[in-house]
Chains A and B, each alone.
Chain A
């Protein structure tokens, strides 16, 4: 049973556009929702995270939107750049244990 479903699997965006990646979860006990960015050959890096008592969190060009009633959260990358091309993973945590989505490969075309 996959507790965190991530979509789309891959995404192509033009430079300057907005990239949107979505995640849906089932367990209402999840209490922490991080996003990770992973470049080829490297380990994931924590990008931004949100707790369920907040509906939105913004850090630079990256924004998490959180919809508790719909059990969904999304990552928005504004003004997408070729350097943002990477695989992005969402995760959800309960009792300290993280469950990851399957990842979205983002390609930003110049």
Chain B
């Protein structure tokens, strides 16, 4: 039972490069989320998707785009990476439609931007 799977687990980018973080869940959940976690801080919501075909901005959306490809997959794209985007990124899902109450998290993507 995989739950929420994120790829890659680690990535190093140069400033200005682009990248897509992948996330997939196998629990048939409606809602999916992208968070970032910086040292000594809690999670901050970047984007969320209440259902397939819908996406909305969270607390810190600038510099990111998302795509809810289907019910299982929710990707996060950095178009032009900046050092301020160095962080650990977590994808999460929940059964409740639009509740913003994440229940299951992936193990994160550790992203460093030089």
Contacts and interface: CB of A to CB of B under 8 A. Distances in A.
State whether these chains interact. yes
Interface in B1-17: 4
Contacts of A101: 42
Q: What is the interface of chain A mostly: helix, strand, loop, or mixed?
A: strand
A34 B104 CA distance: 13
A32 B43 contact: no
Interface residues of B, number: 22
A100 B60 CA distance: 13
A98 B90 contact: no
In this complex, the interface size class of chain A, counting residues with CB under 8 Å from chain B, is: 20 to 34
B97 to A, nearest CB: 10
B100 interface: yes
A8 B40 CA distance: 12
Interface string B15-55: 00000000000000000000000001111110000000000
Contacts of B101: 32, 34, 49, 93, 96, 98
Nearest to B38: A102
B61 interface: no
A18 interface: no
Given A44-B105, A46-B103, A93-B101, A102 B43 contact: no
A44 B41 contact: no
B45 A44 contact: no
Interface of B: 4, 40-45, 58-59, 90, 92, 98-108
